[in-house]
Amino acid sequence: MRRHATALFAVLLVLAGHVMSAQFEVDSDLMRNIEDTTKSLDSNVSLKDAKSAAAEAKELATLFAQVEDFYARKGDATDAVGFSRKTHDLAEQVIKAVDAGDYDTASTTVIALARSCKSCHEVYKK
């Protein structure tokens, strides 16, 4: 009986470790959604599709707020919080540029947004 209890305890420890590590990883679907939306945003800015570009920039602002919140709660990821905040701000700038019909600024800002993503991935993506 004691051996079964020890084995059960070991299994529970392994499972708890997997659950705890899952809490501290950004959801890959979220990041894939961000990547796809960024690519689509770039295309829609190039096409001067104000409605689609504004909607995608707003979606990105919301998604980056979620990423920022994740890293803020995780702790010990100050750079990731900064990258997320910067990219959120860039998405907001794209919205303003698109609303103003300034597609040159919107395009330049989308490039900066994508670079911010890449900079964060160089530090945190494994």
Q: Which domain holds residue 52?
A: 26-124
Alpha-carbon distance of 98 to 124, in angstroms, equals 31
pLDDT at 21: 37
How many domains does one find in the chain? 1
Highest mean pLDDT among 7-16, 19-28, 55-64: 55-64
**Strands (DSSP E) along 40-82, which ranges?**
none
pLDDT at 26: 73
Backbone phi, then psi, for 20, in 5-degree steps? -65, -40
CATH of the domain at 111: 1.20.120.10
Q: What digits encode the pLDDT tens for the residues 75-121?
A: 888 888 999 999 999 999 999 999 999 999 999 999 999 998 888 88
